[in-house]
Amino acid sequence: MGLPRKSLISLEATPYYHCVSRCVRRAFLCGKDERSGRCFEHRRQWIEDRLLELAEVFALDICAYAVMSNHYHVVLHINAARAEAWTLREVVDRWHQLFKGSSLSQRFARNEALNGAELARLEEMAAEWRARLMDISWFMRMLNESIARQANQEDGCTGRFWEGRFKSQALLDERALAACMAYVDLNPIRAKMADTPETSDHTSIQRRISAARDGKQPQELFPFAGNPREPMPIGPPFQLQDYLELVDWSGRCLREDKRGAIDEQLPPILERLQIDPRYWLYLNRNFESRFKSLVGCALGAQRL
């Protein structure tokens, strides 16, 4: 029996989570139906577009993602500080991008006057909406429901499109975060859908590399904050260049003709994170199967 979602996602433990959602139709999410010859690769763009669109509405930052043929991965950061800083107007406007809201919120959005009791009731509703706008389960629900509707309409059918529950892993420290992000970014290479990170379509690593060529970080993704220091900016605690080199090095080592071979030119980030390179490569092949719901040093026996 799966654990309740509220026991798997806790801001007190960590703001970082790895989520995976799989399609019940397997190859018919974004792949090719060998029986009919129909190709559904365009649906990968649907998911990528909707993922990035929702991140603009929710108080959730996207650290990494990869859209595969029958599932997708996303590493999310819950940005509680951003949600708490929203005004009542901002909460209502964001919620209206997802739902109609209530008659009170619609009147408020039209700048109609509300009396004290009405305003108090709206603030109560907005408090609930604010909590939902920083809730991973609500984010995944909005993402999956919209894609399922599009796919069912295209297929001319009804019924379940995704597995009932998405899988989530709490990432308890920077080593777990780095390992998981690299695992997600390298999914197309492990699946032999791409030869290099920069040719991995519908992935965060391709988007980061494209922006890095212009000396930038992509606005759609959670920016790297650099190595830990005081005061520490918000963002994954790595240098962007270090992470890109790490993913590139890992991808080369994951190739079948390079399996087991460790390049002497190890990325310096591995030394800073105190991760053995051989164990790092093991994680990049087995991150999901090696760990269940929690990943990080706080685990003791399940420690990364």
The pTM score is 0.87
Region of residue 226 (phi > 0: left; psi between -120 and 50: alpha; otherwise: beta) = left
Tokens of 52: 């990035």
Residue 214's identity, in one-letter code, is D
Domain membership flag for residue 284: yes
β-strand partners of 22: 71
Return the CATH number at 237: 3.30.70.1290
In a domain, 4, yes or no: no
| 86 and 74 together in one domain | no
Instruction: Tell me, yes or no, whether 56 and 34 share the same domain.
Output: yes
Identify whether residues 188 and 93 lie together within a single domain.
no
Query: Number of folded domains in the chain?
Result: 2
Whether residues 112 and 257 fall in one domain? no
242 & 127 share domain = no
Last residue of a domain, one of 100, 132, 164: 132
Q: What range does the domain containing 34 cover?
A: 11-79+135-302
Cα distances from 2 to residues 94, 166, 292, in angstroms, run 32, 11, 11
Let me know whether 252 and 162 are in one domain: yes
Residue type, 5: R
Q: What is the pLDDT along the chain (304 residues), one digit of tens a residue?
A: 455 555 567 777 799 999 999 988 554 566 666 666 778 888 899 999 999 999 999 999 999 999 998 899 999 999 999 999 999 999 999 999 999 999 999 999 999 999 999 999 999 999 999 999 999 999 999 999 999 888 888 877 777 888 878 999 999 999 999 999 999 999 999 888 888 889 999 999 999 999 998 889 999 999 998 877 777 688 898 899 999 999 988 888 876 555 444 455 677 778 877 888 888 888 888 888 777 677 876 443 344 5
Question: How far is 289 from 273, CA to CA, in rounded Å?
Answer: 22
Is 105 in the same domain as 194? no
Instruction: For residue 93, give the nearest of 81, 80, 79, 106 by alpha carbon.
Output: 106
